[in-house]
Structure 1
Amino acid sequence: MIQNLAIGQQVFTSNVFLVTGERTVLVDVGNDFDVVSETREYVDDIDAAILTHTHYDHVGTLDAVVDAFDVDVWGYDSSIDGVDHEIEDGGMVQLGDNQYEALHTPGHKNDHLCFYSPETQTLFAGDLIFANGGFGRTDLEEGDHQLLVDSIGRVLNTVDESLAEMHTGHGPSVTTNPYTDIELALQAARMRA
C-alpha cells in the first residue's frame, strides 16, 4: 500500500510516501511536520528512507526519522550529508512488496532519482514530473533545463501507456492515464526550452 503522509499539511513540504509491505519504507521524508507521528499512525516501524533527491523540502525531517526509526537512508549520492547508501542508475530497490528500477533523472537537481516498477506499473516521479503536465523547476542550484527535458524523455521511454500510478513530489498523485501527464510534461518542457 502507498499512503501520502503529507496530505492536509499546511506547511512547505514535499509529499511523503509510506510504502508498506515486505520492506516498509518512506519515499522522501518531507519538512516542517511531524512525519514520525504520521508514520506511526500506520506502522510501528520502517525499514529504510529512500530519497528522490536532497532538496530541503524533501529531507528536512531526515534526522528525526533516522533517530526515531534507526534506519539507513538511501539516495543517489552518498557524499551528501544524511545519505548512507547509494542507489545506482539502473539499480533495483525494494519498496513495499515490489522491486523498482532507479532512474537517474537530473535537471531539477543532480542527485534526482525516479523509481519505476514494471510489475505494478507504478512510478515515483519526485520533482521531475507533476500532474497535468507540470515539471520541476530548473532555476535552483544544480538546475539544468536541457537535462530536465532529457530526463523526462528518458522516463517516457521507460514506462508505457499501461502506467497505472504516478506519485509526485508535490501535488496529487495521478491514477488516471499518468502516461499522458508525462507526455504533456515533455511537450511543455520542450516549449519552454
Structure 2
Amino acid sequence: MANLQIELFPCREDNFGVLIHDPQTGVTASIDAPEEAPIVEALNRTGWELNHILITHHHYDHVEANSVLKAKYRADITGPASEADKIPGIDRTVRDGDSFHFGSFSVEVIETPGHTLGHVCYYIPDAAVLFAADTLFALGCGRVFEGTPQQMHHALQKLAALPGETEVYFGHEYTEANARFAVTIDPENAALVQRASEIQKMRAAGIATCPTTIEAERATNPFLRAADPAVRANLGMEDADDVAVFAEIRKRKDNF
C-alpha cells in the first residue's frame, strides 16, 4: 500500500484526533477538528503543516476547532454538502460518490446517514484506510440521532462491503463498553469473546483500540451481524428482517 502517514491522539474526554500526511507531496489534513490544543501539539510533534480539515459531520465535538485552525494555518475545510450550513468555515462540499485528491492520494466520499443525516466517511483505497468517525466504531456504531435504523443499517452495510484489510479509524474510544455489550448479543461468538478479553487488557494498559479493520468488525461487531443466525436466535428474532434485528440491537445498546 502507498505510504500514507497517520498520527492518532486523544482529544476531549473520549474523542480521537487524527492527522494524515502524504510524505510525497508534504500535505497534511486533520480528520475532523475536535479540539485545538491536541491537534496543534500533534502538528508540532510531527513537524507537519496543516493544509486541510476533512469534516465528517456537524456535531460540536467534531467541528469545535474549525475556525481557530483555519485562521492559524489557513487550512481549507471540506464537509458534507447537506450539513454545510452547520459546519463553521466550510470551503468545499462533498456528496456520496465524490472523490478528490489529497496529495498523491484519491479520497472517496461515502455518505452514511444515520448518526446525522449528512454524515460522510472518507475512504482512501490506495492506503486501505477508512475514516468512519461516528458511523462505525470498534464493536459498535453511532447512535441514530437524526436518521432511521434503516438508514444506519444500510450505511453500515456499505462500509462492511469494503475490503477486509481496510483499517478503520473511528471517532471515539468507546470500545471497552461496546465489547461488554457485544457479548450480550453474540455470546457464542468465540472470536468476539477473545477480542473482548484483549480489549479489556489493552484499555487497562492505556492502549488505544483504534484502528480496527473491516474484517475484524464483520466477524465480531453485532451491528454488522444482523443477518447472522446465532445473533437472531439469541434475540428470538429468527424470522425478522435484518433492519428489525439491527434496530433491536441498537435499542438495547441505547439502554445498556
Pairwise TM-score range, normalised by the shorter structure: 0.7 to 0.9
Aligned to 2:196: none
Aligned to 2:16: 15
Q: Structure 1: how far apart are the matches of 2:36 and 2:126?
A: 34
Deviation string, structure 1 residues 82-105 (Cα, Å, up to 9, x no partner): 222101211113345421211010
Is 1:105–1:112's contact at 8 Å kept on the other side of the alignment?
yes
1:101 aligns with 2:105: no
Cα distance change, pair 81–59 in 1 and its aligned pair in 2 (3 A): closer
- Counterparts of 1:109-188 in structure 2, within 5 Å, are 109-131=116-138, 133-138=139-144, 140=145, 142-157=146-161, 159-163=162-166, 165-171=167-173, 172-175=209-212, 177-182=213-218, 184=221, 185-187=223-225
1:80 aligns with 2:86: yes
Cα distance change, pair 13–182 in 1 and its aligned pair in 2 (3 A): same
Taking structure 2 as the reference length, the TM-score comes to: 0.65
Aligned to 2:59: 55
Aligned to 1:27: 31
Taking structure 1 as the reference length, the TM-score comes to: 0.84
Deviation string, structure 1 residues 127-166 (Cα, Å, up to 9, x no partner): 11111x211011x3x2432211110011122x12232x11
Query: Which ranges of 4 or more aligned residues in structure 1 deviate by more than 6 Å?
Result: none
Tell me: higher relative CO, structure 1 or 2? Use CA pairs within 8 A at least 6 residues apart.
1
Is 2:21–2:48's contact at 8 Å kept on the other side of the alignment?
no
Q: Bigger CA drift: 39-48 or 112-121? A: 39-48
Is 1:20–1:97's contact at 8 Å kept on the other side of the alignment?
no
AA aligned to 1:156 is A
Provide structure 1 residue ranges, at least 5 long, that are not aligned to the other structure. none
Q: Alignment partner of 1:5: what SS?
A: strand
AA aligned to 2:141 is F
Is 1:76–1:113's contact at 8 Å kept on the other side of the alignment?
yes
Deviation string, structure 1 residues 14-60 (Cα, Å, up to 9, x no partner): 32211011331111111374422332222352111101111111111
Is 2:32–2:56's contact at 8 Å kept on the other side of the alignment?
yes
Taking only aligned residues, the RMSD between alpha carbons, in angstroms, comes to: 2.2
Is 2:160–2:214's contact at 8 Å kept on the other side of the alignment?
no
Q: Structure 2: how far apart are the matches of 1:5 and 1:97?
A: 24
The structure with more radius of gyration: 2
Aligned to 1:64: 68
Provide structure 2 residue ranges, at least 5 long, that are not aligned to the other structure. 174-208, 227-244, 251-256
- What is the CA distance between 1:124 and its match in structure 2? 0.9
Is 1:50–1:73's contact at 8 Å kept on the other side of the alignment?
yes
Q: Structure 2: how far apart are the matches of 1:89 and 1:74?
A: 13
Cα distance change, pair 118–50 in 1 and its aligned pair in 2 (3 A): same
